[in-house]
């Protein structure tokens, strides 16, 4: 089973998952000095529209939590996504042992306490998430960094408050509260974008990454759960 130790971590994933040795692997360190601002991105504004949903299923994946949120009524489009429309499939989180680390992307070498991924797939071109994940423009993932501060995030609390029920890998439960994914996004909508991959095996090179510049604030407890 793949993981993050020296014997099963990213350096050996390519033995079992060939794409992990590819040319557009994620995560990356975002070097802000060489990131170029693309004027047409301003012209094609990135727009998103989500539904609020209750009774979403949350799963312990063994590497964090994942909320299954297939939303046929959601739309992510514009910005780097060309003319295609992407639909929300799931969102999940990466965090670390301490709040000094945990994000997958880093910014000028700096890691954040954690990182939320909102995973979407291209419904204009493909018929399913699984099919989309086989194509270079199949998925669009919004990444939001977590900063640790004194205010807790109410939406994240609705999720973290269920984790005591799914202590072990493979367990799942329902989140009774209504969740609106829009509330996970920072107020500042500036982002970096690049063509990359799934950050975990099978590491398919199918993701258009959109990483927001502004982190959202959560409390230490909300992001060092284990
Ligand atoms: N981190 S990511 O790039 O947004 C990402 C988005 C969607 C994914 O399907 C994966 N990878 C994945 O599901 N691997 C299968 C078993 C892992 C259980 O955790 C990673
Ligand atoms: Zn992820």
How far, rounded to the nearest angstrom, does the alpha carbon of residue 206 sit from its chain's CA centroid?
Answer: 14
How many angstroms separate the CA atoms of 104 and 111, rounded? Answer: 8
pLDDT of residue 10: 96
Predicted confidence (pLDDT) at residue 226 exceeds the cutoff of 70: no
At 98-120, the pLDDT tens digits run 889 999 999 999 999 999 999 99
Least confident of 62-66, 114-118, 168-172: 62-66
CA of 131 to the centre of ligand 2 (A): 19
37 vs 12: CA distance, rounded Å: 35
CA–CA separation, 82 vs 76, rounded Å?
A: 11
Asked whether 192 and 34 are in contact (CB, 8 A), the reply is no
- Which residue has the CA at smallest separation from atom 16 of ligand 1? 201
Above pLDDT 70, what percent of the chain?
97
105 carries an active-site annotation: no
- Residues 5-52: tens digit of each pLDDT: 999 999 999 999 999 999 999 999 999 999 988 876 565 899 999 999
The arithmetic mean of pLDDT across residues 134-146, rounded, is 98
Counting atoms of ligand 1 from 1, which one is nearest the CA of 26? Answer: 3
Backbone angles phi, psi at 134, to 5 degrees: -100, 5
**pLDDT, tens only, 189-208:** 999 999 999 999 999 999 99
What does the pLDDT read at residue 223? 87
């Amino acid at each position: 089973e793949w993981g993050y130790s020296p014997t099963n971590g990213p350096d050996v994933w390519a033995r079992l998952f060939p794409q992990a040795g590819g040319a557009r692997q994620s995560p990356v360190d975002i070097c802000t000095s060489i990131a170029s601002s693309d004027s047409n991105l301003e012209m094609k504004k990135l727009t998103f529209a989500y539904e609020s949903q209750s009774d979403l299923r949350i799963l312990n994946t063994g590497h964090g939590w994942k909320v299954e949120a297939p939303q046929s009524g959601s739309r992510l489009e514009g910005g780097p996504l060309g003319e295609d429309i992407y639909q929300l499939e799931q969102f999940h989180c990466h965090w670390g042992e301490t709040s000094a680390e945990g994000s997958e992307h880093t910014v000028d070498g700096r890691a954040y306490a954690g990182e939320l991924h909102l995973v979407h797939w291209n419904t204009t071109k493909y018929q399913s998430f699984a099919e989309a994940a086989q194509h270079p423009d199949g998925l669009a993932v919004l990444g939001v960094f977590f900063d640790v501060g004194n205010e807790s995030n109410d939406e994240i609390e609705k999720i973290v408050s269920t984790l005591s029920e799914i202590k072990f890998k493979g367990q799942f439960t329902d989140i009774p509260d209504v969740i609106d994914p829009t509330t996970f996004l920072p107020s500042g909508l500036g982002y970096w974008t690049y063509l990359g991959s799934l950050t975990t095996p099978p590491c398919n090179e199918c993701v258009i990454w959109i990483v927001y510049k502004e982190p959202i604030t959560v409390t230490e407890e909300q992001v060092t759960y284990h």
